[in-house]
Each structure stands twice: as C-alpha cells, then as structure tokens.
Amino acid sequence: MNPEHPVCVYYGKALARYGFGAGHPFGSDRMGVFGRLLEQRGLTTRVRICPPVQAERDALTRFHTPEYIERLQTLSSLGEGFLDYGDTPAFPGIYEAAATVAGSVLDGIKRLMEGDCRRVFVPIAGLHHARRDRAAGFCAVNDCGIAIETLKQVYGLKRIAYVDIDAHHGDGVFYAFESDPDLYFADLHEDGRYLYPGTGNLMETGKSAARGHKLNLPMPPRAGDELFLQVWDRVEAFVEHCSPEIILLQAGADSLGGDPITHLAYTEAAHAHAARRLCVLADRHCNGRMLAMGGGGYSRANLARAWCAVVEAFLGD
Ligand SMILES: [Zn+2]
C-alpha cells in the first residue's frame, strides 16, 4: 500500500477517446470537464493519477461472447455502422477505446487486489447497458461485467457487491448475473416506466440460487436528495448483509437535477453520501477495496461535480 496516495484516479487521452463526437450527449469532452474541476479543487495532487490501460481481448471475452468482440473489431476498423439498433454508433477505433475503458477498470482492480491502494475511480467507465452478445445505450462493452467476471475467474471472489446510482437501470449487469449468487446487485434508478431501458422493477430480486441477491429500487421522476437518502438506507443494509469482498459503485451523474436525458433531481450530495457510506462498509468488510466508475451524466457541470464528490469522499473529505 502506498500510504501517500491511497486513492487512484485513471486519467488520460486514451480514456477520453471513448465518446461519440462533438454535440453527442456522450461526447469525448466528458473526461476533460471532470479533469478541470479535479484540478481546480486541488485534488490532482492528493490522488495518484494512473494512465489508462487497454485490456487484452481475452479479458473482454471473460464477459462478452467472442462473436460479439469480433463484430466490434470489424465495425471499429470500418469506422461506421451501428453496434445495436441505433443508440450506439461505431467510430474508427471504438474497439481500442472501449478496451481502454475496460482495461483501466481491470488495472484498478489489480491494484486493489494487490493492496497497492484502497480506492479507485475510473471516469467514463460504468458502461452498464452492454449485454454479453451486443452493445446497447452508448455502451460498446460492459466494463462492469468484465470486472465482475475477472473478480470471479481470476481472483476467485465469492461475494462481490455492485451498487448503481445512475439514473438508468444497469440492465446489462443485472440480466447477465440474474442467476449468479456471487453478485450482490443493488440499483437505485428512475422507474422504468419513464426512462430507458424500462427494466428493474421491485420484484426483480434474482433467480434460482441468486434469489434475494439483487435489489432493484425504482425512483419516481423528480425524486431529490431527501428521497434518495431514505431509500439509500435499504441499499446500505443490503450491502452490509452480503459482507462483500469488494465493492463496485457505478456513480452515474445523470441522476442529478438538470440532466438533459433523465428526470431525477438529486444533487452531488447524493453521490458523496453513497461513496462515503460505501467506504465505511469497504473498510469493515473488504480491506478498504472499493472501485467507482463514472457512469452516465450528460450535463457537463453535473458530471464534474458528482465525480469530484466521489473522489473527495474517497479522500475522506
Ligand atoms: Zn445513465
């Protein structure tokens, strides 16, 4: 462990390349906006800045089908076409960019598992909609799913907690692990009757051996911090009960008021609270091991504030 910098933040051009061009909600300017606020708040000198790392193909196929990865590589070299039915266009180099998002998360996991640091934040990551065999909702790969499979297959973990506070339901993670008892999944999202992808109702609690290992908590449109804090207690009790070996947080900033494509109304105080409380649980159960992914967030000001709030919580501010 490096006591000087127990918090790692992944940052660099290769990570920013995952974006769909100027004017797109998921544009490649998102990382820089976060970086500027990180700098302004004096946080860059207090964390360890880690360079992005591109994942090997074999790491991606721990979660994705080889056929899908091949299709992604082909469309990436062609530089055009759609990876799904219209939400997720291919661009030249999208394979390398997506593999870099996943690789940075995996590098962060390696550092946590080796005791090199206690907390990791990866902006741009948290592409929670991609399925094992297809892209979806701006997500060409599912770095969360790849991380979970890696924790199981490479590190042999048996109790992994995944908490998702993005406005959208983390369907790509949920359905891939719906019957897997090793993944304890808690997702607070805008009710699927009002927002993409339409899934994640209260009755979806996991199947077969995983029954009771999943918690889906739909929130009404315009829900603010007060309701978030009330409902959050259930997430905390759930994570406490599962006594995890590592905690993953998808800290999507599109659940803040004013996001152009969703209807929730939290402030960054919600993100700060979630990160702070999960740190307490990570210290109690996981030797401090906690990794957060930036997730969605399409108001630039919101994503910078929410992501910096997570980093500040990691630093104990
Ligand atoms: Zn989202």
Whether 67 contacts 145, CB under 8 Å: no
Distance 88 CA to ligand 1 centre (A): 14
State the pLDDT at residue 84.
85
Distance 91 CA to ligand 1 centre (A): 21
Distance 143 CA to ligand 1 centre (A): 14
Distance 294 CA to ligand 1 centre (A): 10
Please compute Rg for the chain using Cα positions: 17
Condensed to tens digits (0 to 9), the pLDDT of residues 143-154 reads 999 999 999 999
pLDDT band of residue 3 (cuts 50, 70, 90) is: low
Distance 1 CA to ligand 1 centre (A): 33
Task: Considering the candidates 128, 129, 273, 285, report the single residue annotated as catalytic.
Answer: 129
pLDDT band of residue 241 (cuts 50, 70, 90) is: very high
The residue type at 300: R
Percentage of the chain exceeding pLDDT 70: 98
State the pLDDT at residue 4.
63
Distance 49 CA to ligand 1 centre (A): 25
Q: Is 271 annotated in the active site?
A: no
Q: What does the alpha-carbon distance between residue 146 and residue 130 come to, in Å, rounded to a whole number?
A: 11
State the pLDDT at residue 192.
97
Question: Is residue 2 over pLDDT 60?
Answer: no
Question: Is residue 188 over pLDDT 60?
Answer: yes
Condensed to tens digits (0 to 9), the pLDDT of residues 101-132 reads 999 999 999 999 999 999 999 999 999 999 99
Q: 171-204 burial string, b = 16+ CB within 10 Å, else e? A: bbbbebbbebbbbbbbbbbbbbeebbbebbeeeb
Give the residue-averaged pLDDT of 49-69: 98
Q: What does the alpha-carbon distance between residue 119 and residue 104 come to, in Å, rounded to a whole number?
A: 14
Question: Is residue 68 over pLDDT 60?
Answer: yes
Q: What does the alpha-carbon distance between residue 255 and residue 253 come to, in Å, rounded to a whole number?
A: 5
DSSP result, 239-275: HHHH--SEEEEE--GGGBTT-SS----B-HHHHHHHH
Distance 3 CA to ligand 1 centre (A): 34
Computed over every residue of the chain, the mean pLDDT equals: 96
Cα-flanking dihedrals φ and ψ of residue 41, to 5°? -85, 5
Question: Is residue 42 over pLDDT 80?
Answer: yes
